[in-house]
Amino acid sequence: MKLRSFFTFLAVTSVAILLLGIGTFYKLLGESPLAAVTGGVTTTPTAAIFVPKTVPVMVSLLVNPDRIEAFQQVLTPPRDRPRSHAEFNQIKKTLLANTDLNYNRDIQPWLGNETTLALMTTDIDRNLKNGEQLGYLFVLSAADIQLATTTINQFWQKQQSEGVDVVSQPYKGVKLTYRQPPENGSRVLSTAIFNRFVLVANSPKLLREAINNVQASSLSLSQSPAYQQSLKQLSGSRVGLAFVNLGRWGLDWENPGVNLPAQPTLTLSIGLSPQGLLAETALVKVTDEEGKSVQPLLDEPIEAWKYITGKTGLAIAGSDLNHLWEQLSTTISRNSVLENLVNQPIAVIKEIWGLDLPSDLFSWVTGEYALAMIPPVAEQQPQKPDWIFVASRLSPQASTAVQHLDELATEEGYSVGTFELGERTLTAWTTISPLPDTVNNPDINPSVLQAKPKGVHATVGEYEIFTTSVEAMDRALNLVSEESLLDDPEFRIAFDRLPTVNDGYFFLNWSSSVGFIKQQIPLLKLLELSAKPFFDHLRSLTISSAGAVEGVAKATVFIRLK
């Protein structure tokens, strides 16, 4: 019996269940007459009583997976039902791989309406010499706790009959059952029954901590002021909820009595919309502005949108990029993992271009801005995508900053010059090189040089437009004959469902950007594999921020599904 890989499958597929589950269940409430009756799920995860305030990540599905599959089958066209059924079956098989458990026989009869996964710690034994060993806790609500208890007991009895050394011991009135750990090992399958919940962990230490959190409620996430503050702002119906600690993850959970510093946190409430998932987020920051309410900056689309084509794969737009960067830097500074994730591409750009984005670009963009990525067409692969950056020149330092960028390009070895494109004067950063094949082709004059633009920028009214090619600049300046992003049907669906009053947008067209994003973020390949059903159904993702209420920064996320 191989149980060592049980938690790897359990962690991956629990996330997949949440993503696929909420991705299909929305059809029930969005397209079914039951929407007027149910109004969605309004509960919050009860499992929060088991996890500590310092938990790095907690994800909860608040709907029974079998209800999701049943409703999905009803709403799916007959020709697509076998594929839909196969997706759910694959999740169940993966979840229980290499165990004697069978979902239909051992879990389905007693499983309730809440399934929660918590990453309790990034290293169970606090020993970096043997590598980081993630610690997981799964909390499953039981509709029939007696049947659940019987099933778990039978599972362990079968393990013993097959020669597994099983240990059962009481802890504060709760029986813990787990495999005898091998030497120098700490990751072992462990279970406990507490009231109407089945607790499963990869270490008995995590079960003991979970019980401590319940009995000393002040230690649990459910009593965290930041968590309660977030839930107060997330008042809509939901089918799933996620909590992420954006602060330091290496806290000592074995000494919960220590006064811990305040941590920035993000809570995500996932609701239902007729054409996708509509989620609300609440970010509790630890800053001097704590407790303040801030009104959003925008109440209508910014003018910079008109230079962004509708064929954009990724777009970011808003106002005051400098302030946005300052807020982001402050928030992620408490989490080294997130800080490295954000700073890595900035460091790469500085190494390649000699450009320090925060000081050379962000600092002077205090008005409107828009950044867009235009993916190459299929036949052009593997060419790189084009980028367009539009920034308001209304800040006092804008002209000096643009001139400084030209100087930096010169320092990096590029030739800086101007040329005409239609009625516009463009400045280009180019490399100069001989024409190819001058050695093999005597008809080509070796003294003839060619210039390859690496970047182009132009002043257009109140804006400075930067592009990575002349073709991209031509498209940005001539969108009269081509639809802008605001006219794109995919973006418009999301745009109409997000708050009109906001601080800006982040838009990702998944189908046209997935190839490029995988190249830039290798970790995404693993994530896509672990949650393949969700990514197979994903069309686009749009995020809109909307100021702050009592110190809680709010945003809305729309996930468009196929």
DSSP element (H, E) containing 21: helix 6-31
Instruction: Decide if 496 is inside a domain.
Output: yes
Same domain, residue pair 213 and 343: no
CA distance linking residue 515 with residue 491, whole number of Å: 20
* 176 found inside a domain: yes
**Domain membership of residue 307 as a residue range:** 297-538
Residue 250 has a pLDDT of 55
CA distance 104 to 119: 27
Same domain flag for 431 and 527: yes
Q: How many helices (H) and strands (E) does the chain have?
A: 15, 20
End of a domain among 160, 184, 217? 217
Number of Cβ within a 10 Å radius of residue 560: 22
Residues 201 and 318 in one domain: no
Is residue 211, in this structure, part of any structural domain at all?
yes
204 shares its domain with 349:
no
Q: Which amino acid is at 181?
A: P
The 3-state secondary structure of 364-403, one letter per residue: HCCCEEEEEEECCCHHHCCCCCEEEEEEECCCCCHHHHHH
Within this chain, do residues 194 and 304 fall inside the same structural domain, yes or no? no
Residue 252 domain-assigned (yes or no) = no
Of 217, 248, 279, the residue at which a domain comes to its end is 217
Pairwise CA distance, residues 555 & 481, whole Å: 34
Q: How far from chain centre, in Å, is Cα 172?
A: 38
User: Distance between CA 81 and CA 354 in Å, rounded?
Assistant: 54
Tokens linked to 266: 């993000």
Query: Same domain, yes or no, for 212 and 311?
Result: no
* Burial (CB count <10 Å: 0-12, 13-18, 19+), residue 157: exposed
What does the pLDDT read at residue 449?
A: 54
- Domain finish residue from 217, 233, 251: 217
Query: Could you list the mean pLDDT of each consecutive 10-residue stretch along the chain, which spans 562 residues?
Result: 34 38 36 34 83 89 75 63 71 60 80 89 69 81 94 90 90 91 65 93 90 88 89 82 78 47 81 77 70 77 87 86 79 69 69 74 86 71 76 87 87 85 86 61 56 83 88 83 79 85 86 71 61 73 83 86 76
Pair 184, 304 in one domain: no
Residue 239 domain-assigned (yes or no): no
Q: Which pair of structure tokens corresponds to residue 371?
A: 């950044």
Whether residue 250 contacts residue 210, with contact meaning beta carbons closer than 8 Å, is answered with no
Say if residue 474 is in the same domain as residue 367.
yes
Q: Where are the beta strands (DSSP E) in 285-367?
A: 314-319
* Cβ pair 25, 71 in contact under 8 A: yes
Q: Are residues 30 and 134 in the same domain?
A: yes
**Residue 286 covered by a domain:** no
Query: Side chain identity at 227, as an amino acid letter?
Result: Y
Assess contact for 136 and 7: CB atoms under 8 A: yes
327 and 472 together in one domain: yes
Six-digit token pair at 479?
């969108």
Query: Domain check: are 534 and 390 in the same one?
Result: yes
CA–CA distance, 158 with 177 (Å, rounded to integer):
13
Is 10 in contact with 138 (CB distance < 8 Å)?
A: yes
DSSP string over 468-532:
SSHHHHHHHHTGGGS-BGGG-HHHHHHHTTS-SSBSEEEEEEHHHHHHHHHHH-THHHHHHHHTH
Reduced to 3 states (helix: H, G, I; strand: E, B; else coil), residue 536 is helix
One domain for residues 337 and 467: yes
Which class for 329: exposed (0-12), middle (13-18), buried (19 or more C-beta within 10 A)? middle
- pTM for the model stands at 0.74
- As for how many domains the chain has, the answer is 2
The answer to whether position 258 is within a domain reads no
Residue 115 lies in a domain: yes
